[in-house]
Amino acid sequence: MQSQSRSDTYDVCVIGSGAGGGMAAYTLTKAGARVALLEAGQMWDPVKDGAMLKWPYDSPRRGASTRERPFGEFDGCIGGWQIDGEPYTMAPGTKFDWWRARMLGGRTNHWGRISLRFGPYDFNRKSRDGLGDDWPITYDDVKPWYDETDKLIGIFGSAENLPNEPNGIFHPPPTPRCYELLATKAARKLGLTVIPSRLSIITKPHNGRAPCHYCGQCNRGCMTASNFSSTNVLIPPAQKTGRLTLITDAMAREVTVGKDGLANGVSYIDKKTGTDKRILARIVVVAASACETARLLLNSKSSQFPNGLANSSGTVGKYLTDTTGTDVSGYIPKMMDMPPHNEDGVGGMHIYMPWWLDNAKLDFPRGYHIETYGGRGVPSAGFMGGIQNYPGGGGYGASLKGDYRRYYGASIGFSGRGEQIPNDDCYCEIDPTVVDQYGIPVLRFHWKWTDHEYNQVKHMQETFRAIIAEMGGQVFSPMPTKEEGYGIANGGSIIHELGGARMGKDASTSVVNANCQAHDVKNLFIADGAPFVSQADKNPTWTILALSMRTSDFIAQQRKAGAL
Ligand SMILES: Cc1cc2nc3c(=O)[nH]c(=O)nc-3n(C[C@H](O)[C@H](O)[C@H](O)COP(=O)(O)OP(=O)(O)OC[C@H]3O[C@@H](n4cnc5c(N)ncnc54)[C@H](O)[C@@H]3O)c2cc1C
Ligand code: SF4
């Protein structure tokens, strides 16, 4: 295919501007590198394009979701479960949901900002229970970069000195809201651990950014840059160095290699003109999100790399995992008919329940944490999950309005987020027959949960039902049966896909080394969730950020030493 090349050669080409790519662009430009950042999505500016200050009644849809905005009309994400012209496929029997963002900053514009470090046990699970694999690095190897990430971005929380929930460098956390206080009391009575949540939102001025003013609309994109998005916090300072060339609407097709077997650039589609172009670079950092990264490597075939780039082990696309998840919600009669009171806060939970039990005494090997939702958020279309689910709720006119007022703020819900162990039946590969609108072969997913995950999710359901009962509440839905998988969410649907280019010491069983450098191609690096060896009972993005910074520091060091 005919490509137009830019004449200059960049020090580094970074693919993707989300958590991993944004951090790589930031760290590398600060370290003096000239970086070209390719982003498949469009420009997005939270100040101009975000809907933080919109009332639902400003729109005839009252904030209800659309096909393009499945998480609500005002959600700050361009993309979603389906993208026109960019399909993916599934093997027979597989249920997999893939959320993709196509915008500057990727999914960090609307993510939940639950920002947890993996703990010391999370890096060596195989040594502890014999399942999955150990990472080639330990918590102590990553700790300095977790610290730097905390300092750079800002995060609130509290030091609790729990064994596998490391402390960070925290801003003060916000006070729990009424429903969170009630949930805390009930959960503690049942023996659960409840601590202030840890979210990448600043509660005091930080690096020139204003603290949160508690509007509760974080998923719309923050106009005061008080929460973390790559768009708000990483890209602007990278641009200020004068060393960043940002190219949006640039869909990377292939990482190209020279005769020496080293990466020498990236070919991409300029979506605005539909033409093929090419960036030349001495180093390539892929951070397109775990599955897109696997896709790009598998599609980067050449005579030297017939099975895809960096894939001599045949493990690109393998060891793919997602967080396990299930939800239970209900209502609490003693929270009905509450007098109006202030429940302002951040756009996310103020309390957090980390894993609190010993798996050796349970019928599943890994833990989960609990997220809580409820309260008196700004009502929009579909809020409270359907008034007809409440006793006597529904109808028309004055009685319907009365029901809404009576029940408003009385609902509560719990979401479990647990660790899946990689298995041979969860992976992605290139579909041999389907291509996207640019002619790029698409991914085909394979997925099967095992009893480890089903039993864990059953435990979540039982626990959440017990907490709601302890609060004197009523659950909306019956306990899902074994045949219903105990209510386990589809693979991919918790949006924590990890793996697909895992790290390891052994080049025959892994794609990258402990510095996220490809075993096969020394100037190719991966800076998103693809190198993760395992999940944890934590959300992954703080670890993606810390590892991307660590990898970028390594690249800077190697450049200085003349090794790259
Ligand atoms: C609603 C929601 C809530 C979430 N909540 C949390 C949470 O509370 N805590 C947590 O830890 N995680 C959470 N996550 C997950 C979190 O968003 C991701 O882990 C994180 O964004 C991953 O970063 P990334 O850089 O790998 O990918 P992304 O942020 O997805 O960025 C990848 C970028 O690469 C671009 N790209 C893809 N392919 C190409 C290509 N071929 N060429 C050029 N560019 C390309 C994409 O357009 C995108 O901008 C949530 C996600 C969602 C959607
Ligand atoms: S709650 Fe705070 S961080 Fe979130 S959008 Fe509002 S001001 Fe920004």
Q: What is the pLDDT of residue 239?
A: 98
Nearest CA owner, ligand 2 atom 2: 212
Which helix or strand (DSSP H or E) is residue 428 part of? Answer: strand 427-435
Q: What is the pLDDT of residue 327?
A: 98
Minimal CA–CA distance to 239: which of 542, 520, 22, 549? 22
State the DSSP code for 331. Answer: E
How far is 109 from 100, CA to CA, in rounded Å?
12
Task: Report strand pairing: 351-352 vs 100-101.
Answer: unpaired
Ligand 1 contact, 112 CB (< 6 A): yes
Ligand 1 nearest atom to the CA of residue 16, by list position: 34
| C-alpha 495 to ligand 2 mean position (Å) | 22
Q: What is the pLDDT of residue 2?
A: 41
Q: What is the pLDDT of residue 6?
A: 56
- Measured from the alpha carbon of residue 109, the closest ligand is 1
Ligand 1 contact, 19 CB (< 6 A): yes
Show the CA angle centred on residue 350, arms to residues 492 and 21, nearest 5°: 45
| Residue appearing with tokens 């400003």 | 58
pLDDT (tens, 9 = 90+) of the chain, 564 residues, equals 444 455 689 999 999 999 999 999 999 999 999 999 999 999 999 999 999 999 999 999 999 988 888 999 999 999 999 999 999 999 999 999 999 999 999 999 999 999 999 999 999 999 999 999 999 999 999 999 999 999 999 999 999 999 999 999 999 999 999 999 999 999 999 999 999 999 999 999 999 999 999 999 999 999 999 999 999 999 999 999 999 999 999 999 999 999 999 999 999 999 999 999 999 999 999 999 999 999 999 999 999 999 999 999 999 999 999 999 999 999 999 999 988 888 899 999 999 999 999 999 999 999 999 999 999 988 888 888 888 888 888 889 999 999 999 999 999 999 999 999 999 999 999 999 999 999 999 999 999 999 999 999 999 999 999 999 999 999 999 999 999 999 999 999 999 999 999 999 999 999 999 999 999 999 999 999 999 999 999 999 999 999 999 999 999 999 999 999
> Measured between alpha carbons, how far is residue 369 from residues 111, 177, 195, 372 in Å?
17, 19, 11, 10
Ligand 1 contact, 529 CB (< 6 A): yes
Q: Reduced to 3 states, what is the DSSP secondary structure of residue 42?
A: strand
Q: Reduced to 3 states, what is the DSSP secondary structure of residue 324?
A: strand
Which helix or strand (DSSP H or E) is residue 35 part of? Answer: strand 35-38
Q: Does the model's pTM come out above 0.95?
A: yes
- Measured from the alpha carbon of residue 210, the closest ligand is 2
Which residues, judged by CB distance below 6 Å to any ligand atom, belong to the binding site of ligand 2? Answer: 52, 201, 212-218, 222, 224, 226-227, 346-347
Q: Which of 49, 52, 54, 229 to mutate to test the pocket of ligand 2 (most atoms within 8 A of CB)?
A: 52
| C-alpha 112 to ligand 1 mean position (Å) | 11
Minimal CA–CA distance to 319: which of 534, 82, 72? 534
- Measured from the alpha carbon of residue 39, the closest ligand is 1
Joined tokens for residue 256: 């190209």
- Measured from the alpha carbon of residue 226, the closest ligand is 2
Q: What is the pLDDT of residue 1?
A: 41
Q: Are the C-beta atoms of 88 and 100 separated by less than 8 Å?
A: no
Q: Which of 109, 114, 200, 214 to mutate to test the pocket of ligand 2 (most atoms within 8 A of CB)?
A: 214
| C-alpha 102 to ligand 2 mean position (Å) | 22
Ligand 1 contact, 18 CB (< 6 A): yes
DSSP letter string over 223-287? TT--B--IIIIIHHHHHHTT-EEEE-SEEEEEEEE-TTSSEEEEEEEETTTTEEEEEEEEEEEE-
Ligand 1 nearest atom to the CA of residue 529, by list position: 26
Which helix or strand (DSSP H or E) is residue 374 part of? Answer: strand 368-374
Q: What is the pLDDT of residue 249?
A: 98
Task: Report strand pairing: 368-374 vs 411-418.
Answer: antiparallel
